[in-house]
Structure 1
Amino acid sequence: MNKFLTVLNFLLLTTLIILTLYVFDVIDIPFLSEQKTQEEELVQQNITPAQQEEIQKVTRSKSYDELMEKGKVYAENGLYDLAIDAYTQASQKAELNKEPLLKIASIQLLQQEYQKAKDMSAHILTIDQNSGLAKLYLGQANIGLENFPEAKNIFDSITSDDQKVQYYQGIMAVYFGEYERGRTLLEAASTKENGDEVVARNALNFVNGLNEFDRYAAGLNNHLRVLMARSFAQVGEHRLAKEVIWPVLKETREYRDAWIILGYSYLKLKQFKDAIDALEEAKQQDPEKPETLFYLGLAYAGNDEVEKAIKELEQALENGYEPKIHAEQKLAELYFLLEDYENSAEKYEEVITLNSTEIDYFVRPIWLYIEKLNKPEKAIALSEKAQLHHPDNAMSYNLLGWSQVANKDYMNGRRNLEKAISLSGNFDAPYLNMGWMYERQNNMDKAKEFYKKAFEMGNGSSTGTLAASRYNSILEKEKNNSFMVNIFN
């Protein structure tokens, strides 16, 4: 009998140890773990039901057309890696079909992965050596890689009167000094019937620059180069712009506008140190020009020299930089980086004063007043202004309700958050804020309910991630409290 009791005590002690280790997540007990609901598992893994459904779909075999459609949807939503994966799978189902490969090349160009785009375009030409689109992409990739003679040869090899072909043939002719040929091609591209409006507008930019030169500066080759460099910069061809402008500056350094164009192009290419050098040269020649100061501020910001960036941007505003809102927005972001939340909120409010038509402008300063500055009364004042300008917008009710909850006005906060939900049934933020309201009132069951809903609706957004974090935090507290109760009972 004593031996039996000893064994029984040993088993009870072992069971107690195992349960203790399970509670503290040291070990896993399958039959206990399975008691978690599927929803809890998804929240704790930060995977929404919608994402889970997508994962399950991917595991099923898809047809070529389904994969092409999936790639299109991913690309339209900026999910480029997923789009490339879908197009790659489509290509594997139809190895001699160039369409999925062309889609991949276009994404690689968009992401500025020029070597990959070049390799892909060259591969497509082994499938169809007459593909004009593959040649167009190959030429664009070579511009990105700064292989300009090769790019020109590729564009010139395309026998087509397609608008984009004419455009690229035209700008490369201009780059290599073939101005009249470039003018002819760009005039054709700018007037193409049923053509792309952006391409037409960009082509016209060069034509106007050439016409300006004819009227005012014929014979002054450096001025023509500056005009063409300006056009290259304005249409986003910054690699070509900087190469066109350099010969001018080698001949004469006293050319403020040339330094500005060069600095701006370096800035857009994210070559911030080079941008700073060029724009400081421009500033020396004209210390008051607000555009120079604005771009210089952006260059310093890109180079993580925040204090210098703020100084230049504030001076640009003082000197009358327009549009003022761009400088104010950047200053708000920079003060935020310095954790100078007062000045950041002030700048965001200045942005709203300049343009109150965008509801999104209200979100960051209200967040600052609630989360960083503990000034819910200012958040309420600003959210009331948002509602005044956006009376039927779900976000304005959400901001007002959120601010009222922060001010412990739970009755009005709940009413406005419910209004936000009624105006937009698929809006995650008011569910998050309802969860926060119930958590502040210590109603954890309701808080979890709303956090779970916000997470499901967020579909991977920052709001959904925060909802998952708060949901899991409540679960952890409940688990710890339950363990403490068991110990002391």
Structure 2
Amino acid sequence: MRRNILVFILLISLIFSLNLALQADSDLSAEELFSQALKNYNQGNFAQADKEFSQLLSDYDLDAGVKFSSLYYLTMTAVKENRTLAAINSLERFEELGYQSAALNWQIGELFLNKAGQFDSADFGRAIDFLEKAQAMGLKSTAFKRDLAYAYRENKQSEKAIGLYEEIIKTSPTAGDYLNLAKLYEKDDYLDKAIKLYEEALIADQVPPSIYLNLANLYQSLGNYSSAVKIYELGIETNPNFAPYYIGLAENHLALNNYAKAEKELNNVLTINKNSYHAYYLLGLIAQQRKEYQKALDYYADSLTYNPDYVRAYLAEGKVYLEQEEFAQAITSFSIAVEKNPEFFESRYYLGLAYYNADQMEAAREELRKALHINDRFQKARDLLDEIEKN
């Protein structure tokens, strides 16, 4: 009985205390409550700030200035807590009263960009809706343009993105701005413009590793292997433990027939990452070029140990067996390559070639037809099929 009375007294005391607290809040003037809410906002107490700004808007007769600021910060508390729908609802209330804020539209647009990874995915279309509103209200800062350009780029509106990045580069660009614009030009096949931008990015502050990779890859795709080598060497100077630079350097040395240099760079890769299946594959190509067939097969086996689905290694392995006229083993390697990727026409062609050399003409004919079904312009497959059909 006594315990029940004590519990009852405690409950009464708690209710009384809460009522006093609520009364104390209601006794605050609008200016005092706004100052308290703003202090909580600035200290990161967003939930409390949200309650206080909401109380101001519901319980007080506010002048225009305080109402504007309360709605503004109510929207911002929702933004800070990633409550997108609440932020949009508050912004709509804000705008229904005739107010406008480019900054709020930008902040909500940024939520949809998902730059912090707070959501499962971005929504670039919705981001553009709010960012374009902010732009129409006159927002022109470089940081804002960068966000809008990013949204356009990811939403496949490349012309608009290019226009904004060109504006940014005329004012206060970063290496990332050059990179993003160069990638857009590269995608649209304006390769000379892309190269120029990548090169300009190299002299900017805080150059990201992808600049070196992208520029070197572009040179490589154009057959300018010597320039690609120089760019990868620059990348290695800035980050000597970044394995992709050494891989790229080795590939370009291979294209220049500098096998010893390529081998050296690939060994550097394996020092950094012993599990690099592509490095083992490239070492196999070098050994195969030198007619060191068993060594090549060992390297391909290492490559497949670290990536059992690597079709290029199965193809290279099969080609070694073809050169050694071990056709049954070649058929096995090429068959696995086909199994791993049935839509890769080269695998079908080489399997057909192995069957042809093993004098299994019907099987060869079938694989060559499948290769041509996937790629009817693959001339080697057509020539071999024509030869079989003549006989």
The TM-score, its normalising length taken from structure 2, stands at: 0.58
SS at match of 2:274: coil
- Post-superposition shift, 1:218? 10
User: Does structure 1 retain, via aligned residues, the 8 Å contact 2:178–2:201?
Assistant: yes
CA, structure 1 residues 471+400, in 2 after alignment: closer, same or farther (shift >3 Å)? same
What SS does structure 1 have at the residue aligned with 2:276?
coil
Q: Which residue of 2 aligns with 1:402?
A: 251
Alignment of 1:276-315 (within 5 A): 276-286=128-138, 288-315=140-167
Task: Specify the alignment match of 1:454 in structure 2.
Answer: 303
Give yes or no for the alignment of 1:420 onto 2:269: yes
Structure-to-structure mapping, 1:458-473, within 5 angstroms: 458=307, 464=310, 467=313
Per-residue Cα deviation, 1:96-145 (whole angstroms, up to 9, x for no partner): xxxxxxxxxxxxxxxxxxxxxxxxxxxxxxxxxxxxxxxxxxxxxxxxxx
Match of 1:220, SS state, is: helix
CA contact (8 A) 1:431 1:451 kept: yes
Residues 357 and 318 from structure 1, CA distance in 2 versus in 1: closer, same or farther, beyond 3 angstroms?
closer
Structure showing greater radius of gyration is: 2
User: Compared with structure 1, are the counterparts of its residues 389 and 314 closer, same or farther at alpha carbon in structure 2 (3 Å cutoff)?
Assistant: same
Q: Select which of 171, 178, 181 maps to 1:331.
A: 181
Please, which of 430, 434, 445 is the counterpart of residue 279 of structure 2?
A: 430
The alpha carbon displacement at 1:395 in A equals 4.2
Relative to structure 1, is the Cα distance of residues 465 and 282 closer, same or farther in structure 2, using a 3 angstrom cutoff? farther
User: Does structure 1 residue 317 correspond to structure 2 residue 169?
Assistant: yes
3-state SS of paired residue (1:422):
helix
Q: Distance in 2 between matches of 1:446 and 1:179?
A: 77
The 2-side partners of 1:357 and 1:267 are apart by: 23
Report the equivalent of 1:173.
Answer: none
Equivalent in the alignment of 2:69: 223
For 2:197 and 2:225, the matched residues in 1 are separated by: 18
Q: Secondary structure of the residue that 2:236 maps to in structure 1?
A: helix
CA distance in 2, matches of 1:344, 1:221: 50
**Which whole-Å CA distance do the structure 2 matches of 1:287 and 1:336 have between them?**
29
Measured at CA, do residues 355 and 239 of structure 1 come closer, stay the same or move farther in structure 2, by a change above 3 Å? farther
Tell me what 2:342 maps to. none
* 1:364 maps to which of 202, 214, 217: 214
Give the equivalent residue in structure 2 for 1:374.
223
Q: CA deviation at 1:181?
A: 9.3
Amino acid at match of 2:138: D
Amino acid at match of 1:283: Q
Per-residue CA deviations over 1:354-388 (Å, capped at 9, x if unaligned) read 46675455333323322x22111111011111222
Which blocks of at least 5 consecutive residues in structure 2 are unaligned? 1-32, 54-62, 115-120, 321-332, 335-348, 360-387
Equivalent-residue separation in structure 2 for 1:347 and 1:484 (angstroms): 50
Distance 1:255 1:385, change over 3 A: same
Do the aligned partners of residues 399 and 302 (structure 1) sit closer, same or farther apart at CA in structure 2, a change above 3 Å counting? Answer: closer
- Is the 8 Å Cα contact of residues 241 and 265 (structure 1) preserved in structure 2? no
The 1-side partners of 2:289 and 2:92 are apart by 62
Is the counterpart of residue 264 in structure 1 residue 110 in structure 2? yes
Aligned to 2:236: 387
Alignment deviations for residues 136-175 of structure 1 (CA, whole Å, 9 cap, x no partner): xxxxxxxxxxxxxxxxxxxxxxxxxxxxxxxxxxxxxxxx
For 1:246 and 1:466, how far apart are their aligned partners in 2?
56
Partner residue in 1 for 2:366? none
Between stretches 424-433 and 379-388, larger displacement belongs to: 424-433
CA–CA distance in structure 2, aligned partners of residues 301 and 232 of structure 1? 27
Partner amino acid for 1:305?
Q
Mapped to 1, the partners of 2:85 and 2:179 lie a distance apart of: 27
Instruction: Identify the range of structure 1 (384-393 vs 436-445) with the bigger mean alpha-carbon deviation.
Output: 436-445
How far, CA to CA, are the matches of 1:483 and 1:384 in structure 2?
44
1 CA distance for matches of 2:144 and 2:105?
9
Question: What's 1:243 paired with?
Answer: 89
Check the 8 A contact 1:431/1:453 in 2, yes or no.
Answer: yes
Give the conservation status (yes or no) of the 8 Å contact 2:175–2:207: no
Question: Deviation digits for residues 188-209 of structure 1, max 9, x if unmatched?
Answer: xx7xxxxxxxxxxx658997xx
Distance 1:442 1:478 in 2: 20
1:259 counterpart SS class: helix
Q: Distance in 2 between matches of 1:357 and 1:283?
A: 29
Matches within 5 A, 1:44-55: none
Q: Contact conserved, 1:394 with 1:423, CA < 8 A, in 2? A: yes
Alpha-carbon RMSD: 4.3
- What's the TM-score once normalised by structure 1's chain length? 0.48
Q: CA deviation at 1:424?
A: 3.0
Bigger relative CO (Cα 8 Å, ≥ 6 apart): 1
Gaps of 5+ in 1: 1-177, 191-201, 212-216
Q: Report the alpha carbon displacement of residue 276 of structure 1 after superposing the two structures with TM.
A: 2.5
Matched letter for residue 365 of structure 1: L
Inter-CA distance 232–430: structure 2 relative to 1 (3 Å threshold):
farther
Q: Would the alpha carbon gap of residues 354 and 234 (structure 1) be closer, same or farther in structure 2, given more than 3 Å must change?
A: farther
* Aligned equivalent of 1:274: 126
**Deviation digits for residues 233-275 of structure 1, max 9, x if unmatched?**
3554434333332222233364222232233334437443333
Q: Distance in 2 between matches of 1:486 and 1:447?
A: 23
Matched residue type, 2:160: K
Aligned partner of 1:334: which letter?
L
Q: Percent identity?
A: 16
Q: d(CA) in 1 for partners of 2:293 and 2:92?
A: 65
